[in-house]
A and B are shown apart, each in its own frame.
Chain A
């Protein structure tokens, strides 16, 4: 199979590219203190929250866009974005029957198991559509265990003490440009609290979806796993297909208290733009978790979407014996650009971290891994192992690796390895000879290449991720 042919068929259609025709309520374009007051008022927030937002906004105005990433970012006019859009349906919902049927159809098309089958799947979903949480499920089951799983807006109203205690402690509004913007204008997101010693009985899941035209999605997630607790959290993202670019600047904060464990899995499938690179989501995300003594935080991500991805889920290993993990598959096709990776900050003693990053570049895309492993002075016996592999499909794409190791402690043992490979014609020929189509062969090879990461995902998610990889690659190989 000629390589040329392999490349020519890069022609994947975005399966999730439909829009939902329901009325949305928006405010005008642009951002100023007045807009922030409106957002806060519409969400019926307490005064302290508004103050926090304004403080973040004022700080944001002093900040500059980060330019260090290996990304070619077109100029973004932050005054040409609508900062708030909510489905115009404000009354509280008591059952699934009350959900707008059109909206339900959207979720059905997305394949979210929102109804009965969810019980079987054991998934509780907090679906976020254009900024307002429409429906949360299984809340009662969770409530029995004392688990709080709701939208962040509700949490601000109902659990102000928890929110005040934790919000902004891992990602302060001063952290970076997009985190500041998010702190000022975040519309909704999820809040999750697992009490001491509780093992969450099901996978918690949120599904983010950007719907309205010209809106930015700024969701905010706060996840607190109290001492000795455990939770596995899934986040899926899709967005409809539009010609213009949409901005997504989310913040995820995780606090993993002593002896607790959190698994956070993401399958990101925002609209990547078309074959010519038109449209698509700009995805600037700050995700970070703080681990106390003996805590464990594991990030797993499968990134196939967005025109631009800027994202570094990180672990601050503050407590002794804490463990951070990062498993990532990032795939780019056509004109997509990704600059993604992680930071492992070792502060406590005997802290361990592991990084496995698998980049796949096809078409004319650029895919970069960027990572930092830092061992602070007192972090005796820190251990890190990083493995960063790149797979190139075609000769018009780029695969880059930008790791940094920063060690201030002689007892640290840190190891980084990276390799680059391509799908060889011999491999394809071999598969073809055994009767596989080239497309199947590529799917097989790519999934094999990413297997180590996919294996870290919960079962239902892993299957979806595998399909997504195949779908995003569709036609990228002849």
Chain B
């Protein structure tokens, strides 16, 4: 099932909030299509799970404030060439889990502020672009206070004459000791005219920190291809399957919506 079908089907059931704890089948408490402006606050100890879909060529501003001990799960999907700025402010002991996919020449610009101790942020994102599309994922994670954790993984595939860009920054303020931050960007180019630009940056002003980042372009495991061929898959099938696995790996939500997101990625890969 494709994502929009899923949304049509699930409109009825929407609003019956499923808890994030129920990891088996995730359903958003709220589905928002093409917002221009979106503000949500998660109250102290509260929860919000939200699916935001951008299917048009427009721009949006989103602000999320996650109160103490609050938790936010945001699933954001770019089906159209939107430009979206998203700010997330997290208070002490809050958690935020973001899954984002881009299958269009969109720009997603995230600023995450970890403003209270022991706030935790996790982001998993993938983009697939083709033709002459140009997409960008900007991600700035500000560790403004001590004892916060963040872990971001962004994967990209560019085919055709497309350009995929990742612009990452982990900022650790002077007093933000015991920060544990990780940021990873992995990319694959398909075809001779695709282009990947990646800038994984660190700006660190505290010494007792664990920060690491990594970026790769064009590294798929040759042994895995060989393994799959030994089981009877053609080289092309093996590569396709590996690529699907490569991007689908970021989708940590289960249930129908997770499947729908994977479908979107696979459908886009087929067009490359």
When A and B assemble into the complex, do they touch directly, with CB atoms less than 8 Å apart? Answer: yes
Binding site for B on A (CB under 8 A): 70, 375, 377, 390, 392-422
**Residue B191 interfacial (CB < 8 Å):** yes
Pair B192/A401 contact, Cβ less than 8 Å: no
**Residue B213 interfacial (CB < 8 Å):** yes
Pair B210/A420 contact, Cβ less than 8 Å: yes
Known interface pairs A419-B211, A419-B212; A410-B191 also in contact (CB < 8 Å):
yes
Pair B204/A402 contact, Cβ less than 8 Å: no
Pair B217/A407 contact, Cβ less than 8 Å: yes
Q: Which residues of B contact A407 (CB under 8 A)?
A: 187, 189, 195-197, 217-218
Q: Which residues of B contact A414 (CB under 8 A)?
A: 215-219
Chain B at the A interface: SS class: strand
In whole angstroms, how far apart are the Cα atoms of A408 and B203 in the complex? 27
Pair A393/B207 contact, Cβ less than 8 Å: yes
Pair B199/A413 contact, Cβ less than 8 Å: no
In whole angstroms, how far apart are the Cα atoms of A413 and B208 in the complex? 33
With both beta carbons as reference points, the residue of chain A lying nearest to B202 in the complex is identified as A401
Pair A405/B194 contact, Cβ less than 8 Å: no
Pair B209/A420 contact, Cβ less than 8 Å: yes
Known interface pairs A395-B206, A420-B209; A403-B189 also in contact (CB < 8 Å):
no
Closest CB-CB distance, B242 to chain A, in whole Å? 15
Closest CB-CB distance, A420 to chain B, in whole Å? 4
In whole angstroms, how far apart are the Cα atoms of A392 and B204 in the complex? 9
Size of the B side of the interface (Cβ < 8 Å), in residues, is 36
Known interface pairs A396-B174, A403-B199, A405-B196; A390-B204 also in contact (CB < 8 Å):
yes
Q: A399-B204, A416-B213 are in contact. List 5 more A-B contacts (CB 8 A).
A: A375-B217, A402-B201, A403-B200, A413-B216, A422-B208
Pair A416/B215 contact, Cβ less than 8 Å: yes
In whole angstroms, how far apart are the Cα atoms of A409 and B191 in the complex? 8
Chain A at the B interface: SS class: strand
Pair A415/B201 contact, Cβ less than 8 Å: no
Q: Which residues of B contact A410 (CB under 8 A)?
A: 188-192, 194, 218
Closest CB-CB distance, B216 to chain A, in whole Å? 5
Binding site for A on B (CB under 8 A): 174-175, 177, 187-219
In whole angstroms, how far apart are the Cα atoms of A405 and B213 in the complex? 13
In whole angstroms, how far apart are the Cα atoms of A77 and B103 in the complex? 51
Q: Which residues of A contact B190 (CB under 8 A)?
A: 410
Q: Which residues of A contact B192 (CB under 8 A)?
A: 377, 409-410
Q: Which residues of B contact A409 (CB under 8 A)?
A: 189, 192
Closest CB-CB distance, B164 to chain A, in whole Å? 10
Q: Which residues of A contact B213 (CB under 8 A)?
A: 401, 416-418
In whole angstroms, how far apart are the Cα atoms of A401 and B174 in the complex? 16
Q: Which residues of B contact A404 (CB under 8 A)?
A: 197-199
In whole angstroms, how far apart are the Cα atoms of A401 and B198 in the complex? 13
Q: Which residues of B contact A403 (CB under 8 A)?
A: 199-201, 215
Closest CB-CB distance, A368 to chain B, in whole Å? 8
> Can you name 26 A-B pairs with beta carbons within 8 Å?
A70-B203, A392-B209, A393-B207, A395-B175, A398-B203, A400-B201, A400-B202, A400-B203, A402-B199, A404-B199, A405-B196, A405-B197, A405-B199, A406-B196, A408-B195, A410-B190, A413-B216, A413-B219, A415-B217, A416-B200, A416-B214, A416-B216, A418-B213, A419-B211, A420-B204, A420-B209
Closest CB-CB distance, B207 to chain A, in whole Å? 4
Q: Which residues of A contact B198 (CB under 8 A)?
A: 404-405, 416
With both beta carbons as reference points, the residue of chain B lying nearest to A420 in the complex is identified as B211
Q: Which residues of B contact A390 (CB under 8 A)?
A: 202, 204
In whole angstroms, how far apart are the Cα atoms of A196 and B272 in the complex? 49
Q: Which residues of A contact B203 (CB under 8 A)?
A: 70, 398, 400
In whole angstroms, how far apart are the Cα atoms of A375 and B198 in the complex? 12
Pair B204/A398 contact, Cβ less than 8 Å: yes
Per a CB cutoff under 8 Å, which of B188, B208, B215 touches A395?
A: B208
In whole angstroms, how far apart are the Cα atoms of A419 and B209 in the complex? 10
Pair A405/B217 contact, Cβ less than 8 Å: yes
